[in-house]
A = this chain, B = another copy of it.
Amino acid sequence: MNDYEVFDLGDVILQHGATLRDAKLAYKTYGTLNEEKSNAIVYPTWYSGFHWDNEWLIGEGMSLDPAKYFIIVPNMLGNGLSSSPSNTPPPHDQANFPNVTFYDQVETQHKLVTEHFGIETLALVTGWSMGAGQTYQWTVSYPDMVQRAAPFCGSSKTSEHNFVFLEGVKAALTSPESFKDGFYDEKPVESLRAAARVYAGWGFSQAFYWDRLYTEMGHSRRLGMNLAFPTLEDFLVDYWEGHFLDRRDVNDLLAMLWTWQHGDVGATPGFDGDHIKALQSIKAKLIAMPAKKDLYFPPEDEEYASQYIPNGEVRVIPGVWGHFAGSGDSPVDLQWIDGVVKELLAS
């Protein structure tokens, strides 16, 4: 799928000190930028997601309608399309890839948006999971630029429990010997399969499994197919292991995992680690949408953060899908999210 553009970032000086030379930002746009350059939306990708995994919220009649908006989907650094461990030459190849923060991610996206497109205002920033993390970072890094924000199933600061969940994923990725401390020639399949198994219990809620909803998940707009898995094992193999084995690189996953674990808008320069002060600086009208039964981004965390956001609000996605309510695989939750984003865009 080479349906995307590549923006030359040049040399990117990262927050933690490394310089990523000749860095690339892969992105795709949908719709047309209007003359006033006032209809742009940024919609960053999620952990292990590519731009095409975001397309379910984009389309005619959808909230992100290309007939009205100019939607930019930047692929996160580390996701395998933008500069990543898997596509960067030495000295930053494979496990030598430097640590990238959410702040860094947004800096590269800001460069694309302003320097390449000449855009100075964003009608909306939105995203799922790590995409929500990038959304929050946009509102803090560029408070005057972001008019509206709709982070769903994510947070402005990675909680300690979330960090620990990711430690489990990291352990699964790194402990098989075929991982070779990140300097493998052959794909460490054991790592990917183990991580998929660890992830499976976290991605969906207890109630999702209790109701055996994997047997009839319905039409996934993200994948463009009906999702139905006759058995639990089939769901684990086909949906979960299949996802991780398909194009995902272990070092890429670890690079994104580091970004996620260290998510904190308080780490934005100027806030000296003060997360609350960073939240208080947000000017966007922001609607956070945690999912009711999300096991690693529970609604309580967003309720906590929201109290510090001047124009912030929380709407809890109902139902039992848990974190994957925001994946684009759940027809009902997709409609719900789309409805809130429409309302926000109309305001």
Partner of A301, one of B160, B168, B210, B300: B210
CB within 8 Å of B: which A182-229 residues: 190-191, 193-194, 197-202, 204-210, 212
CB-based contact B159/A232 at 8 Å: no
Q: Looking across the interface, which residue of chain B has its beta carbon closest to that of A174?
A: B194
Copies held by the complex: 2
Contact B236 A206 (CB under 8 A): no
A147–B220 CA distance with the chains assembled, in angstroms: 51
Q: Name the interface residues of A152-181: CB closer than 8 Å to any CB of B.
A: 159-165, 167-168, 170-172, 175-178
Q: Are B301 and A198 in contact (CB under 8 A)?
A: no
Q: In the complex, are the beta carbons of A201 and B167 less than 8 A apart?
A: yes
Distance of A155 from chain B, by nearest CB (Å): 11
Known contacts A167-B201, A201-B167; A210/B175 CB under 8 A = no
- Inside 8 A of A176's CB, which chain B residues have their CB? 175-177
Residues of B within 8 A of A160 (CB): 209-210, 212, 232
Which of B178, B200, B210 touches A159 (beta carbons < 8 Å)? Answer: B210
Q: A172-B194, A175-B194, A194-B171 are in contact. Are A200 and B164 (CB under 8 A)?
A: yes
Q: Are B206 and A168 in contact (CB under 8 A)?
A: no
B193 near A161: Cβ-Cβ < 8 Å: no
Complex contact A300–B206 (CB within 8 A): yes
Contact (Cβ within 8 A) A200 B300: no
In the complex, whether A295 has a CB less than 8 A from a CB of chain B is yes
Given contacts A160-B209, A295-B295, contact A198 B168 (CB under 8 A): yes
A131 at the interface (CB under 8 A from B): no
For chain A, residues 50 to 82, give those with C-beta under 8 angstroms from any C-beta of chain B: none
A-B contact pairs, 20 of them (CB 8 A): A159-B210, A160-B212, A161-B208, A161-B210, A162-B206, A164-B197, A164-B232, A167-B197, A167-B200, A171-B172, A171-B193, A172-B175, A175-B176, A175-B191, A175-B194, A176-B177, A206-B295, A206-B298, A210-B301, A295-B295
